[in-house]
């Protein structure tokens, strides 16, 4: 008999790739979708799987709803990907972020504790929990030091996942995932913001892109590779916590240069601090401008993960290189802008 999975956050980037993977493995997939004024399944449609998923109305803020959904769908596995996932917004909406990203996870764990301790649980934890990093590279034993309300809420959720595993013997795993991107990434995140803006500039629809901290460094991988790691964690005989990362780090500025090159543009940077500017190599026109509006009250300067445990215990490894990822994102956005079919 096929396994049944309940995926929260199914309308987001990871929800789409994970559902595609689970369907390919013969799972019956229930997609937990919160009520919004517009239907929001464009990513699932892009992967051609929107018709294969059974959707259920779900909100991490509503305990009674979570209990009913778990009772009615009777999943073998729950993947909790739902979150207010944008770090910058968490500084403006810290209480909301705490309720969804922190307490929301406890609500799901309570539903499992109440209704079915046999349900396996995956929690979408994050490298943002390392924040002001205490060691480099970061591994499962590196101490946490979150630098945003998002990071703090996710850290609470991480420890609740560990606690419910230890206290109630629930098969609950926490995936500490470093940044992962794709053509399905939300446009507010820096990678997609860059690829979309450069595509618009190349198509004559925009003149410049305004960014914040160009020196920030991230360990960026491809989301499609990371959902495979989530699934592998849940299949282990014993639940545990694992880092998924590439073991490489690159700056925002490097990402800009590589994305520009993929579109046949050359950008050269000059100046320091707020005066730093990226110019078109041919015309000298400013294309990348620093705007303090995109600085964060507290920043995570550098993330670099050590995926050794996942590689050895799960047999997981990323397949898509950084260069390939950037090129895929840049070219996909160029096609979308050129063809006038931008849906998210």
Residues in the site for ligand NAP, rule: CB under 6 A? 8-15, 34, 36, 40, 58-61, 81-85, 100, 124, 126, 177, 179-180, 186
213 binds ligand G4F (CB under 6 A): yes
Query: Residue 14's binding partner, choosing from ligand G4F, ligand NAP, none, with beta-carbon cut-off 5 to 8 A by kind?
Result: ligand NAP
Nearest-approach distance from CB 269 to ligand G4F, in angstroms: 14
d(CA 226, CA 86): 18
**Main-chain dihedrals φ then ψ at residue 37, nearest 5 degrees:** -75, -15
Any idea which residue has 């014993």 for tokens? 238
Q: Which of 128, 242, 249, 253 is labelled catalytic? A: 128
With respect to ligand G4F, which residue has the nearer C-beta, 119 or 199? 199
* CB atoms near residue 92 (< 10 Å): 10
Q: Which of 152, 211, 239, 288 binds ligand G4F (CB under 6 A)?
A: 211
156 is an active site residue: no
Q: Which of 126, 142, 195, 249 is labelled catalytic? A: 126
With respect to ligand NAP, which residue has the nearer C-beta, 84 or 161? 84
Nearest-approach distance from CB 329 to ligand G4F, in angstroms: 12
Token duo for residue 212: 């914040």
Token duo for residue 312: 């050895």
Please provide the size of the chain in residues.
Answer: 344
With respect to ligand G4F, which residue has the nearer C-beta, 218 or 309? 218
Query: Residue 77's binding partner, choosing from ligand NAP, ligand G4F, none, with beta-carbon cut-off 5 to 8 A by kind?
Result: none
**12 and 85 Cβ atoms separated by less than 8 Å:** yes
Any idea which residue has 């929107």 for tokens? 50
Q: Which helix (H) or strand (E) holds 156?
A: helix 149-168
**101 and 126 Cβ atoms separated by less than 8 Å:** no
138 binds ligand G4F (CB under 6 A): no
Task: Find how far residue 336's CA is from the centre of its chain.
Answer: 22
157 binds ligand G4F (CB under 6 A): no
Query: Residue 212's binding partner, choosing from ligand NAP, ligand G4F, none, with beta-carbon cut-off 5 to 8 A by kind?
Result: ligand G4F
With respect to ligand G4F, which residue has the nearer C-beta, 30 or 130? 130
Question: Apex CA 225: angle with CA 245 and CA 306, to 5°?
Answer: 15
Helix/strand/coil percent split, the chain, to 5 = 45, 20, 40
| Residues binding ligand G4F: number (CB under 6 A) | 24
Q: Which helix (H) or strand (E) holds 62?
A: none
Dihedral over alpha carbons 246, 249, 255, 259 (to 10 degrees): -30
87 binds ligand G4F (CB under 6 A): yes
For 275-305, the DSSP string reads G-EEEETTT--EEEEE-GGG--SS---B--B
Q: Which of 17, 150, 226, 242 is labelled catalytic? A: 150
Q: Which of 91, 189, 269, 344 binds ligand G4F (CB under 6 A)?
A: 189
226 is an active site residue: no
End-to-end, the C-alpha distance of the chain in Å comes to 36
298 is an active site residue: no
249 binds ligand G4F (CB under 6 A): no
Q: CA Rg, the chain, in Å?
A: 20
CB closest to ligand NAP, residue no: 12
Single out the segment in contact with ligand G4F by CB under 6 A; choices: 28-36, 64-72, 125-133, 274-282.
Answer: 125-133
Residues binding ligand G4F (CB under 6 A) = 85, 87-88, 126-128, 178-179, 188-191, 193, 211-213, 216, 218, 252, 294, 296, 299-300, 303
Q: Which residues are catalytic?
A: 126, 128, 150
């Amino acid at each position: 008999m096929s396994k049944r999975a309940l995926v929260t956050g199914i309308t987001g980037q990871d929800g789409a790739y994970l559902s595609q993977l689970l369907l390919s493995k013969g799972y019956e997939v229930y997609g937990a979708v919160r009520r919004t004024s517009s239907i929001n399944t464009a990513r699932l449609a892009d992967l051609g799987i929107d018709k294969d998923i059974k959707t259920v109305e779900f909100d991490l803020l509503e305990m009674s709803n979570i209990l009913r959904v778990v009772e009615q769908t009777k999943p073998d596995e729950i993947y909790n990907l739902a979150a207010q996932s944008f770090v910058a917004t968490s500084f403006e909406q810290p209480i909301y972020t705490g309720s969804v990203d922190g307490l929301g996870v406890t609500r799901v764990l309570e539903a499992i504790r109440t209704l079915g301790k046999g349900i396996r649980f995956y929690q979408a934890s994050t490298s943002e929990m390392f924040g002001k990093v205490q060691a480099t590279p970061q591994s499962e034993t590196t101490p946490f030091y979150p630098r945003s309300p998002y990071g703090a809420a996710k850290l609470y959720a991480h420890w609740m996942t560990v606690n419910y595993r230890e206290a109630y013997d629930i098969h609950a795993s926490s995936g500490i995932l470093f940044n992962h991107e794709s053509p399905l990434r939300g446009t507010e995140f820096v990678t997609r913001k860059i690829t979309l803006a450069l595509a618009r500039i190349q198509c004559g629809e925009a003149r410049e892109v305004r960014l914040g901290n160009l020196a920030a460094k991230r360990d960026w991988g491809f989301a499609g590779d990371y959902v495979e790691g989530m699934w592998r964690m849940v299949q282990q005989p014993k639940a545990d916590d694992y880092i998924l990362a590439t073991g490489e780090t690159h700056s925002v500025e490097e990402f800009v240069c590589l994305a520009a090159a993929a579109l046949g543009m050359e950008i050269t940077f000059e100046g320091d601090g707020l005066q730093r500017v990226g110019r078109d190599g041919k015309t000298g026109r400013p294309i990348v401008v620093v705007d303090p509006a995109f600085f964060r009250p507290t920043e995570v300067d550098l993330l670099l993960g050590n995926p050794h445990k996942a590689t050895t215990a799960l047999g997981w490894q990323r397949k898509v290189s950084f260069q390939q990822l950037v090129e895929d994102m840049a070219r996909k956005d160029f096609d979308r802008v050129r063809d006038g079919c931008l849906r998210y």
